[in-house]
Structure 1
């Protein structure tokens, strides 16, 4: 018996057994895509500035049989938005409203966002409320687009309660993403109390709250300068009871809060909790706690923290060294501070102006002007520019030791660099020069001050008048007339 091959039909008839119909779905899809492409090319040829631009956009819809294509209408809307022809959009929407298909929600979310970018809040509200007329049921997706727009400024925030109430009447149910958006937006607007209330509502309703939301609210609470420690501690404890797993950044936010409140011991407690929770603190964490305990005056704890971070293998940065050198200087351990300065450079950490200012302040306080001069020369050799604080510290030290001429030279350098500071002792220098009989030098210095729009105090004017053997009833303008010719 001869067995026929399954390809017998093909060999005999030399043609395919099936005839493809032009009505199957793939062919219809291909034809529609070709129509859409031709439609887009036709629209691109129209002039946006032409007065009949919108009718010319609608005409190709019937030409290419795309009346029932949401994609075609979306393309027309995008064309108007791209050309910023907002006044033509209502006409196109009216035409869309007369159709019978269900308009996809993404068209309206696109419109809402575009209206938001153009600061047309009322138009965004109107299109959201009109969505049901286009046979489109709004959801949390379009609601979130509207809320994101409203949360950008105070005016929009005032409209939030009414929008949320109306959305409930439209059977739009807020989702977790909606509450998350509101919490983050309120935190960015510094409305932290309202954000905490919404967060509590999410928890009460059994909605999932991610660690990211807890972290965002926590950092916003810590950034509030008018809150006390109990508010932060309360939120910190309650959030952890609800399963919040804080990261290193969250611990640092709480540490920074306590440091700003000058509660170094509480900051140290948070650092210890961080270690007990299995998170290794970084150098930023230790530096903040170190500066906090130094400000609180607990220098023994500062020594322990500095030794501990070294034992953990952490590399101190310039802020860490500045905090520890500050602790040494507050204990008048200047030599140890200078040795620490050398250690910094050996480990490749370059000191900055704050480092030297800390040492200069302590050295000048004890009256060691020679050592202060050496530090100033060292700063200049290393290319570290003195700031107004540096000059103020060294000039005060020179005046206290009676080195008026050197203090005057430094003040002239300050005037030349325009590094003015309210505490700079201009009056003391003028008085000191006058008391030493250097009236011409004082007048020359006064002229330089006037040239920089700096006026000395009453004590300096009085000393100059007395030195010039003038009666104190002369006005300041009289003395300025004496100064100007110089």
Structure 2
């Protein structure tokens, strides 16, 4: 506004000049009455033409191909809008093009970084309008092309009409932050100061965001302090960026401190703040705290959005609260207007069902996502491949992998690694190696996870040498192995029973500076236990305690179960006492190992107490735990409690298996309850639980006690197909049961069938056969069986000959006694035994064990 004495001097301007001042009469002034002098007040206002900056949306739809495209077009200042002397300069130049800003951006994006971008910009007429520069930077940065943006910004600074602006620098800093180029963003910050362009709150926000993306949260805090020293008040966005910088690095405590300071400074949190705090808890693996914060958030007036609920679902899955996660997902689908499920939601649900082992539901969720009109991204496809890979379903994983390429995506390292893992779990390491090589052929560099998956593919299939070769290849290619690599190799050594390799791998980890964590110690201790190296496992456990690496439930489960396998039950109890002192939380597997240790030592009271504590702790016993307790009651000759426990298992929907049923049958046999064994066999048939040798052994024993010949015959028919592979204990029990019933012909027919299968017959089997023949008085077959034994290379005992000799003396006359005596003398000469005939009673010491002893021995073999 200016007071001019000669307003007529403005008449020289163009009549359509937009900058022409407007004249106001002094009579129209409010202060005209107090001003006796008549003057004119002229206000110079610049009319702003917003038409060049309006965004016009242009759409394109191809119904035949099912494609659509939406673009935003910005014109900017054109040839007619630039100053006159520039307009005259370019009018006669046919190389000067009057492009719009959007056309310039499109032409630049078509160029490669080595093309002459500056040459194209020098042909643009709009470069003479300074106001086009910030719009051009805005349009090119929105495309995300960093190289083109840097070229344009460098060209722009060399233009004579360029003037540094805060918004241009802010856009460039944000773009560098998106590409995680923190140093360049910081360089732009210092450069704008050199150009005397004072940073504002938006500048500091962009710089804090850049350092937050790079995980440099301490730098972000320092930038916040600089902002305060510059007397620039932080906004809510500033605090949100700072909280995000701390939280994304896992420093959730620092994030809470900033949030508290934000509230103290009078800047209230909004929905974005709450989401960032929840994300900070998620990044710091504080899932329970995240759920508690969500409950507090419900008490505010801020309603959660899709991002909030996605974080909550993720935390619930990590805590194993799958039902609550599904409830939230269902509520999101019911309230579509407020929180519509997005791709992240469906992907989290795929991961949920994968963890639960419900693979078919994973595919159903994926199909539901397609039905909702959402286009899956590469993360969704990878989640589905990972679900199939976790169960070794390589065929379906490959099908999803091919769908990625069919739908226009390019498989990434995660896709290849998941498929590789699928083939490894499917026991096809050769195919896993093919996928690994294919990944490198497609210009993807394998990371440490990819190498670990290939090591596991070889190691889990017993190819330890190949697994070690992959480790060497990994190091040669510049990828350093981590603790997971060591754990996989240690577990593979345990499976392959390679004692020396375990020591070598531990030494290799030490040389590479890889400190063993709890998981690594567990793998090494478990491997030593698997190969029977108890002392080395114990030494490693002591080293673990000495280095203050805290053992967990897996550690003690490995130690206690390993001691039980090696019958070191007293040592197992010592580990239990140490575990109780450290207050290690007991897992389901650990409870079972502890109960087994107590039961094997006959400490039934402690076993029962631990079993009760397990149920009170909310840890539902599984079939292994129930079977362990049934074994304990069986050892204590308490078939009533064993039977009650079996019924409890059914009531709790725990499906009994072969081992549980055989344990209960043994308890029934020891408790003289043979009829209950046959009832249990009927139950197994109804439940389609297959019979094993142990089951047949108990059933044959029960039939023998009940003298149930018909059931025995049926059992023989069931056993006949598997005669070549049945155990010695079951074979002996079956022959003894038939012979005891007096069915000698049936017994011999069964024996002939066994011999016809080529099964190896032991000395104890011949002993049972001979005893039953002798009781039946069939001495001719008796002598024939003795001959079979000699032909089979099994030397009969003196007691066998003396038994038939005594029988011949008493029942068959001197003729057969002489034949038997001749056989005895021949046997004495072959065996080089000098046994005096006056010491016949002493020779009985060489007789085979009694049938009862054999039955006890066979029973022990079955238990083993």
Instruction: Report the TM-score range of the alignment, normalised by the length of the smaller protein.
Output: 0.5 to 0.7
The alignment partner of 1:275 has SS state of helix
In the alignment, the residues of structure 1 paired with residue 634 and residue 622 of structure 2 have an alpha-carbon distance, to the nearest angstrom, of 19
1:287 paired to 2:662? yes
| Other-structure match for 1:373 | 745
Q: 1:439 to 1:137 in 2, by over 3 A?
A: closer
Please say if residues 560 and 593 of structure 2, whose CA atoms lie closer than 8 Å, have aligned partners that are also in contact. Answer: no
Please say if residues 290 and 302 of structure 1, whose CA atoms lie closer than 8 Å, have aligned partners that are also in contact. Answer: yes
1:441 paired to 2:819? yes
In the alignment, the residues of structure 1 paired with residue 814 and residue 591 of structure 2 have an alpha-carbon distance, to the nearest angstrom, of 67
In the TM superposition, what is the alpha-carbon distance from 1:405 to its structure 2 partner? 3.5
Q: 1:209 to 1:455 in 2, by over 3 A?
A: same
| Other-structure match for 2:775 | 400
Q: 1:118 to 1:365 in 2, by over 3 A?
A: closer
| Other-structure match for 1:197 | 577
| Other-structure match for 1:236 | 611
1:154 paired to 2:263? no
1:325 paired to 2:325? no
| Other-structure match for 1:213 | 590
| Other-structure match for 1:184 | 558
| Other-structure match for 2:27 | none
| Other-structure match for 2:129 | none
In the alignment, the residues of structure 2 paired with residue 305 and residue 320 of structure 1 have an alpha-carbon distance, to the nearest angstrom, of 10
Relative contact order: is structure 1 or structure 2 higher (C-alpha 8 Å, sep ≥ 6)?
A: 1
Please say if residues 525 and 540 of structure 2, whose CA atoms lie closer than 8 Å, have aligned partners that are also in contact. Answer: no
| Other-structure match for 2:789 | 414
CA displacement 1:91-137 (0-9 Å, x = unmatched): xxxxxxxxxxxx99969989x98998474899899x69xx8xxxx99
More deviation, 286-295/332-341 = 332-341
In the alignment, the residues of structure 2 paired with residue 314 and residue 107 of structure 1 have an alpha-carbon distance, to the nearest angstrom, of 39
Q: 1:259 to 1:407 in 2, by over 3 A?
A: same
The 5 Å alignment of 1:244-323 reads 244-317=619-692, 319-323=694-698
1:11 paired to 2:120? yes
Please say if residues 677 and 702 of structure 2, whose CA atoms lie closer than 8 Å, have aligned partners that are also in contact. Answer: yes
Please say if residues 415 and 448 of structure 1, whose CA atoms lie closer than 8 Å, have aligned partners that are also in contact. Answer: no
In the alignment, the residues of structure 2 paired with residue 308 and residue 412 of structure 1 have an alpha-carbon distance, to the nearest angstrom, of 44
In the TM superposition, what is the alpha-carbon distance from 1:248 to its structure 2 partner? 1.6
In the TM superposition, what is the alpha-carbon distance from 1:298 to its structure 2 partner? 1.2
| Other-structure match for 1:98 | none
In the alignment, the residues of structure 1 paired with residue 645 and residue 751 of structure 2 have an alpha-carbon distance, to the nearest angstrom, of 37
Q: 1:365 to 1:157 in 2, by over 3 A?
A: closer
In the TM superposition, what is the alpha-carbon distance from 1:376 to its structure 2 partner? 1.0
Using structure 2 for the length normalisation, give the TM-score.
0.35
In the TM superposition, what is the alpha-carbon distance from 1:301 to its structure 2 partner? 2.5
In the TM superposition, what is the alpha-carbon distance from 1:372 to its structure 2 partner? 0.7
| Other-structure match for 2:242 | none
In the TM superposition, what is the alpha-carbon distance from 1:254 to its structure 2 partner? 2.7
CA displacement 1:7-33 (0-9 Å, x = unmatched): 38551448944679xxx8999xxxxxx
In the alignment, the residues of structure 1 paired with residue 690 and residue 561 of structure 2 have an alpha-carbon distance, to the nearest angstrom, of 34
Q: 1:116 to 1:26 in 2, by over 3 A?
A: farther
In the alignment, the residues of structure 1 paired with residue 738 and residue 505 of structure 2 have an alpha-carbon distance, to the nearest angstrom, of 62
CA displacement 1:5-63 (0-9 Å, x = unmatched): 3338551448944679xxx8999xxxxxxxxxxxxxxxxxxxxxxxxxxxxxxxxxxxx
Computed over aligned residues only, the root mean square deviation of the Cα atoms, in angstroms, reads 5.1
In the alignment, the residues of structure 2 paired with residue 234 and residue 208 of structure 1 have an alpha-carbon distance, to the nearest angstrom, of 16
Please say if residues 427 and 457 of structure 1, whose CA atoms lie closer than 8 Å, have aligned partners that are also in contact. Answer: no
In the TM superposition, what is the alpha-carbon distance from 1:373 to its structure 2 partner? 2.2
Using structure 1 for the length normalisation, give the TM-score.
0.58
CA displacement 1:238-277 (0-9 Å, x = unmatched): 2222222222222223323443554433332221121121
Please say if residues 560 and 594 of structure 2, whose CA atoms lie closer than 8 Å, have aligned partners that are also in contact. Answer: no
In the alignment, the residues of structure 2 paired with residue 150 and residue 391 of structure 1 have an alpha-carbon distance, to the nearest angstrom, of 41
Please say if residues 607 and 629 of structure 2, whose CA atoms lie closer than 8 Å, have aligned partners that are also in contact. Answer: yes
In the alignment, the residues of structure 2 paired with residue 264 and residue 440 of structure 1 have an alpha-carbon distance, to the nearest angstrom, of 53
Please say if residues 293 and 302 of structure 1, whose CA atoms lie closer than 8 Å, have aligned partners that are also in contact. Answer: yes
Aligned residues: 364
Please say if residues 433 and 439 of structure 1, whose CA atoms lie closer than 8 Å, have aligned partners that are also in contact. Answer: yes
The 5 Å alignment of 1:421-436 reads 425-433=800-808, 436=814
More deviation, 426-435/270-279 = 426-435
In the alignment, the residues of structure 2 paired with residue 312 and residue 215 of structure 1 have an alpha-carbon distance, to the nearest angstrom, of 25
In the alignment, the residues of structure 2 paired with residue 107 and residue 403 of structure 1 have an alpha-carbon distance, to the nearest angstrom, of 68
In the alignment, the residues of structure 1 paired with residue 814 and residue 750 of structure 2 have an alpha-carbon distance, to the nearest angstrom, of 31
The 5 Å alignment of 1:83-94 reads none
